[in-house]
Amino acid sequence: MAIIGGGPGGLYAAALLKRLDPSRDITVWERKAPDDTFGFGVVLSDETLGGIEHADPRVYEALQRDFVRWDDIDIVHRTTRHTSGGHGFAALGRKRLLEILHTRCRELGVALRFHTEAPMDLPQTHDLVIAADGIHSTTRETYADVFRPQVTTHRCRYIWLATDFPFDSFRFEIAETEHGVMQLHGYPYAPDASTVIIEMREEVWHEAGFDELDEAESIERCGKIFAEALRGRPLTSNNSAWTTFRTVVNDRWSHGNVVLLGDAAHTAHFSIGSGTKLAVEDALALAAGLEERDSLEEALAAYEAERRPVVASTQRAARASLEWFENLGLCLDQPPRQFAFNLLTRSRRVTHDNLRLRDARFTEAVEREFGCPPGTPPMFTPFRLRGLTLRNRVVVSPMDMYSAVDGVPGDFHLVHLGARALGGAGLVMTEMVCVSEEGRITPGCAGLYTGRQAEAWRRITDFVHAQAPGTAIGVQLGHSGRKGSTKLMWEGMDEPLQEGNWPIVAASALPYKPDSQTPRALSRAQLTDIREQFTAAAVRAARAGFDLLELHCAHGYLLSGFLSPLTNRRTDAYGGSPAKRLRFPLEVFDAVRNVWPGERPLTVRISATDWAEGGTTAEDAVEIARAFAAHGADAIDVSTGQVVADERPEFGRSYQTPFADRIRRATGVPVIAVGAISSWDDVNSLILAGRTDLCALARPHLYDPHWTLNAAAEQGYTGPGVAWPAPYRAGSRRPQTGRTDAPKPRLSL
């Protein structure tokens, strides 16, 4: 076996594989010197250490002797320091970690070849080649056509430094300079030393003149900016240079007998301390696969199958953390404790609930500052939109049911929406209700273009107001545009009808998919007709008793099609520049606002990104939201995508909430966050951090119509933010369950 790269991941893989089978002939090739390494300290989690202890107690014991441990995180912002405890960190010097692994490899008989380039013919001369050659992996580039790497460069510059005293916590310090915001990340790694990372956006780095300074001058400048945090002590370097973080993703991790490990396969931003952790865990999984499987092909497939979901989850968390620091300047005006809570929960790995377990006093202080009455989770605080006060922050998101007949909602809709209203949410939204027969997505879509439809909706709103007092019900108005005249979702989502088609219209004559019907580009007269259809539907909605109206300008439907440059190719006054693309949606909004009762809120749902090159960006979304807010929108419901069929969304838990957060901070308009928000802990975390004002959940409410009631029961909350219907009160306590045993470990090495 040949291992290319003498970093922690490669060395640990070598030691582990040799220990498991001493007959293996293992060589590590490292082109640098034994102690030639980038950076200073390495942080390892208890989970990773547990895996090391189980697999090689000798390495674990050696690490234990050198670890520096601490529990606190300090956040210093505008001279105010807030401390959160109970986190549990362990770190040691990177050079010391390498020394421990060198010693262990030599004890076991691994050949270590330093100052030596790995031969190009290793795959031909060895049974297995492990490429642990880092972010600049030569192996990965050699086989780029197979691994298909994607490397994303981000917006901040950073430099890895150290100082000669130990911080007593993990320290985040914010400096607001004349050039822009800079931040310090610091933590101890030895009894007399700490790692210090200085980071700032690229434009701040240039404005501050760092691009014109040499290494020594940069270090001196950083020391002056953060002199108080550094206690006046100097900073030192170790191959330190300003760099930009790059996220590495590969479509495949193995090719024949060559396999990628650690940074060669994947990277995750240093702000969640995951690089060495991931590499060590890769080594454990690779060793396990080789032990358990009968062939190399099966072993490498098992290794990738086990590690890829874990790495993807970590990269999502790291991306959220990275982007939080990139946009740090938008958060600076938050109250100090909320700012600290926001920072601590930025990656979504730390949440309100587990932070409360780690440090209840800190979390309760944040809740008090936010305005939570004693014993009240953030999700059960009220929120006011215009003349409507919602008793809690939970919204049942609009979900198309495709179950109407001739656009008329029936018993199904009464039961569906009524059950979710009884389930405790502050606001229940209808599906997208179409403003015309031609504006339906499918033959099963509900409408508000006839009096009969309005009467049917009145039956539903009357039920909600009578049987679920305190719950508001809102209607979402929309027009399908180029995504109309398609099959019911379960018969083929977005597929054209085989018979009974109707003509469709859009901003431009572009089909949604190659086999979709091609829409007609709307004329000026048709735009006027559609605007009047929206206003007529809004009048019916008001008479039907809806408490809130939302204009659907997302997901590639008609109004969304005007907003995106990918779907609007018009050359008249309604296409071209962002302002022209906004013109028709704003005309419709103004017309609806004019007929919608003044005391009732009007919101707008947008797609904050198209997830496609050349489409709407997060920056564009801020301007779109700002325009609607200037015209009187009471809140922006921030979704993403579904605008073009070839989109590439970055799915994951709460994956759309950063877009809502950004809009909220940049515009000051209230926002509704959506997108894979699945737990009450997520809702509490997002609300308390100030990333959103309301949380809309869809699938969780399909799984459990009483999701909000059950969230209250599970948190022991009985206040005014939620009310159990009298017939349901006997179910307000969680049922007892039988014993469940934890799964046994998957592998014993």
User: The domain that contains 431 carries what CATH number?
Assistant: 3.20.20.70
112-156, pLDDT tens digit by residue?
999 999 999 999 999 999 999 999 999 999 999 999 999 999 999
The pLDDT, as a whole number, for residue 732 is 84
The pLDDT, as a whole number, for residue 51 is 77
Region 548-552: mean pLDDT is 98
Do residues 395 and 317 both lie within one domain? no
Alpha-carbon distance of 161 to 41, in angstroms, equals 10
The pLDDT, as a whole number, for residue 744 is 59
- Give every CB contact of residue 50 below 8 A, 6+ residues apart in sequence: none
| Beta strands 602-607 and 520-521, pairing class | unpaired
Do residues 306 and 407 both lie within one domain? no
Region 387-401: mean pLDDT is 97
Decide if pLDDT at 337 tops 70: yes
Decide if pLDDT at 746 tops 60: no
Do residues 149 and 264 both lie within one domain? yes
343-379, pLDDT tens digit by residue?
999 998 899 999 999 999 999 999 999 999 999 999 9
What domain range is 631 assigned to? 388-717
Higher per-residue confidence, 190 vs 46: 190
Do residues 324 and 422 both lie within one domain? no
Is position 725 within any domain? no
What is the token pair recorded at 719?
A: 């206040």
Decide if pLDDT at 749 tops 80: no
33-76, pLDDT tens digit by residue?
988 777 788 988 777 777 788 888 898 899 889 999 999 999 99
Do residues 634 and 531 both lie within one domain? yes
What is the token pair recorded at 676?
A: 């894979």
Residues 714 and 680 sit within 8 Å (Cβ to Cβ)? yes
pLDDT band at 733 (very low <50, low <70, confident <90, very high): confident
Query: HSE (CB half, 13 Å, CA atoms) of 308?
Result: 13
81-110, pLDDT tens digit by residue?
999 999 988 999 999 999 999 999 999 999
pLDDT band at 741 (very low <50, low <70, confident <90, very high): low
Do residues 107 and 203 both lie within one domain? yes
Is position 357 within any domain? no
Do residues 278 and 426 both lie within one domain? no
Is position 267 within any domain? yes
The pLDDT, as a whole number, for residue 250 is 97
* Local structure of 172: helix, strand or coil: strand
- Amino acid identity at 372: C
Answer with the one of 328, 346, 371 that is the final residue of a domain: 328
Do residues 299 and 430 both lie within one domain? no
- Give every CB contact of residue 128 below 8 A, 6+ residues apart in sequence: 1, 2, 257, 259, 290, 296
Question: Cβ-count burial of 524 within 10 angstroms (0-12 exposed, 13-18 middle, 19+ buried)?
Answer: exposed
The catalytic site residues sit at 557
Do residues 565 and 647 both lie within one domain? yes
Is position 730 within any domain? no
H helical segments located in 555-610:
558-563, 578-595
The pLDDT, as a whole number, for residue 255 is 97
Answer with the one of 312, 328, 344 that is the final residue of a domain: 328
Lowest mean pLDDT among 17-31, 268-282, 549-563: 268-282
Percent pLDDT > 70 in the chain is 98
Placement of tokens 């920072």 in the chain: 343
Is position 181 within any domain? yes
600-648, pLDDT tens digit by residue?
999 999 999 999 999 999 999 999 999 999 999 999 999 999 999 999 9
* Rg of the chain on CA atoms, in Å: 29
Do residues 321 and 400 both lie within one domain? no
Region 430-456: mean pLDDT is 97
Q: What domain count does the chain have?
A: 2
Do residues 394 and 322 both lie within one domain? no
Is position 644 within any domain? yes
Is position 59 within any domain? yes
The pLDDT, as a whole number, for residue 745 is 57
Q: For the domain that residue 94 is a member of, what is the CATH number?
A: 3.50.50.60
Is position 408 within any domain? yes
Distance of CA 576 to the CA centre of its chain: 31
563-613, pLDDT tens digit by residue?
999 999 999 999 999 999 999 999 999 999 999 999 999 999 999 999 999
Average pLDDT taken over every residue of the chain: 94
What is the token pair recorded at 21?
A: 């089978």
Alpha-carbon distance of 475 to 456, in angstroms, equals 13
Region 647-651: mean pLDDT is 88
Do residues 324 and 397 both lie within one domain? no
Alpha-carbon distance of 222 to 557, in angstroms, equals 50
Alpha-carbon distance of 92 to 40, in angstroms, equals 9
Alpha-carbon distance of 666 to 674, in angstroms, equals 18
Decide if pLDDT at 281 tops 60: yes
Decide if pLDDT at 740 tops 70: no
> Which of 91, 221, 237 shows the shortest CA–CA distance to 161?
237
Helix, strand, coil shares, percent, the chain, to 5 = 40, 20, 40
Alpha-carbon distance of 549 to 588, in angstroms, equals 13
| Beta strands 111-113 and 170-177, pairing class | unpaired
The pLDDT, as a whole number, for residue 503 is 94
